[in-house]
Structure 1
Amino acid sequence: MSTHHEPDGTDTLLAVRDLRVSFRGKGRRAPRTEVLKGVGLGIRPGETLGLVGESGSGKTTIGRAVLGLVPVDSGSITFAGARLDGMKRARRRALGRDLQVIFQDPYTSLNPSRTVGDTLAEPLLAQGVRAKEARGRVGDFLSRVRLPADAAARLPREFSGGQRQRVAIARALALRPRLVVCDEPVSALDLTTQAAVLELLLELQEQTGVAYLFVSHDLSVVRYMSHRVSVIHHGEIVETGPADRVTSHPDHPYTRTLLLSAPVADVTRQRQRREEAAHARGAG
């Protein structure tokens, strides 16, 4: 079954249509497992689309397909009018300044042997920005992500997890992209740091107009960050709509289960929700 949920009109920045991805198991004769089953979604300029689902639902595979990190069986991925699926590597690299990524783990996403300044300057220099201008832009982005200017001369190991993720955000936004794939960007951080990083992402979006594909298993985080939300279950988009509606009054039983399972501050209410979620799964 094909599931299409892209915005109508000509203002779509990213359009994913009838996307199918499968992986072969271990061994030459192992069967292929279909991970994405006709997925469709779309993102407008300056918009955040939250993509939420449990582990193994296929949400990270969508982001990786958009970035060209996994092969696509069929369907299409169109970004700023250009077809990404099947695009040759050299041409895809040319799109690098417009399409960036923030990975989940700030501890492994930065080269430990390179200074922060070199890490941030590298993509700028690769795009032909002169060294003096690159240094100035590095300083500007360190300021934007609220890191001191002397951070440029330091190595990643000298920073906390939250600070490293700020460096990763600065690296992703240094080229002034039109879209950033945020792959569980705060799940490795403590709650206080999560809140600060999410606020930073929202602030930078307001300043730059960048669009986000925000991938997460956490419905509360997705609600906070997103204009619209797509819910993925077993490789299919089961519900898409405005974030307030989908996360408060969902239509699909799976989304309701996610909502009931989301943590709340009240312990008694949290236990009640877990019991309601268990009952919902049993009824399904």
Structure 2
Amino acid sequence: MLLTIDELCVSYRGRGLRTRPRRVLHEVSLGLRPGETLGLVGESGSGKSTIGRAITGLARAESGRIEFAGERVEHADARRRRRLAKDIQMVFQDPYTSLDPALTVGDTLREPLLAQGVPAKQAAARVATLLDRVQLPADAAARLPREFSGGQRQRVAIARALAPDPRLVVCDEPVSALDLTTQRVVLELLLEIQEATGVSYLFISHDLSVVRFLSHRVAVLRDGRIVESGTAAEVTETPQHPYTRRMLLAAPVPDVDRQRERRAAFARARSGAAA
């Protein structure tokens, strides 16, 4: 396994001094292989983004184990954390706020390379390669983020994540702010990048149809607990847990009549769950 998460628990403290910590992850266990995409799906507040934050060191593990490439993440010293910052990158949800508006695209992509000590000439060549990989023109390097569409900005964010040649990219709702057509383009781009580079993805989303398109395996998270996991086909075609079935019914489909039937079935499922 490239990434192993074993019985991970994470709690967040409230704002008040007397507020007790609230546990958001309850003994979560996951595994991710090299070159694989693991889809992590759940509703808002399920704790899925917290898993990504714990892997990247943005959230502190209360207990449990996070192991990357055979080494413990939560016990890493300063030197190892610098290596992890190279090996594990993140693509965030909103391409409008995740990029510095004052930096050109070229500066955005060069910044992590220069921080690693890459010579300026090599960094410039790497920027050109990255722009080509995410299917943006070479002259994009001289432009500011505001000059691009949402889908193009997310391509820049993906290029920035790829800049240090990571082994794992945590994709936290990377297409949810995009329209459906642009979502498809970005997802196909991620597939092409994985085929070319062998990078692994932890793909976080609330949309099972998006996760099914990209993922080899899927884990379903509810209230900080894994309620179902398996191959993408198993989870999306023959779901075992009622919560997963309700999520599938809630996913939109292009056929109007079928969508009406699904909405009615979803309403019945929710009523049954409430009862």
Quickly name the TM-score band, shorter chain normalised: over 0.9
Q: 2:150 aligns with which of 139, 143, 161?
A: 161
Matches of 2:212 and 2:79, distance apart in 1: 37
Once the two structures are TM-superposed, the CA of residue 95 in structure 1 deviates from its matched residue by 1.8
Give, as a single letter, the amino acid of the residue that structure 1 aligns with 2:116: Q
Give the SS at the match of 1:97: helix
Q: Residue 253 of structure 2: which of 264, 269, 283 is its match?
A: 264
Counterpart of 2:86 in 1: which secondary structure? Answer: coil
Q: Give the match for residue 73 of structure 1.
A: 62
Q: How does 1:234-245 map to 2 (within 5 A)?
A: 234-245=223-234
Corresponding residue for residue 52 of structure 2: 63
Separation of aligned partners in 1, 2:114 and 2:258: 53
- Aligned match of 1:176: 165
Instruction: For residue 275 of structure 1, report the CA deviation from its aligned partner.
Output: 1.9
Aligned to 1:3: none
Question: What is the aligned counterpart of 1:246 among 209, 217, 235?
Answer: 235
In structure 2, the residue matched to 1:107 is 96
Aligned to 1:116: 105
The one-letter code sitting in structure 1 at the alignment partner of 2:85 is G
Question: Does the aligned pair in 1 maintain the 2:41–2:220 contact within 8 Å?
Answer: yes
1:102 CA drift (Å): 0.4
Matched, 1:215 2:204: yes
Say if 2:169 is the partner of 1:185: no
TM-score for both structures, normalised by structure 1? 0.94
Gapped regions of structure 2 (runs ≥ 5): none
- Worse-superposed segment, 176-185 or 87-96: 87-96
By how many angstroms is 1:93 displaced?
Answer: 2.0
**Equivalent position amino acid for 1:102 in 2:** V
Structure 1 residue 198 corresponds to structure 2 residue 176: no
Over 2 Å off, 4+ runs:
86-91, 281-284
Partner amino acid for 2:270? R
Corresponding residue of 2:11: 22
Secondary structure at the counterpart of residue 96 of structure 1: helix
The 8 Å contact of residues 56 and 85 in structure 2, kept in 1 or not, is answered as no
Identity between Structure 1 and Structure 2 (%): 67
SS in 1 for 2:38: strand
Tell me the distance in 2 between the aligned counterparts of 1:268 and 1:227.
30
Counterpart CA distance in 2 for 1:37 and 1:53 is: 14
**CA–CA separation in structure 2 for the residues paired with 1:202 and 1:282:** 38
Residue 36 (str. 1) matches residue 25 (str. 2)? yes
Shift of 1:176: 1.2
- Structure 1: state its 5+ residue gaps: 1-11
Q: Is the 8 A contact 2:49 2:172 kept in 1?
A: yes
Hey, what does 1:7 align to over in structure 2?
none
2:128 corresponds to: 139
Aligned to 1:8: none
Separation in structure 2 between the aligned mates of residue 187 and residue 265 of structure 1, nearest angstrom: 18
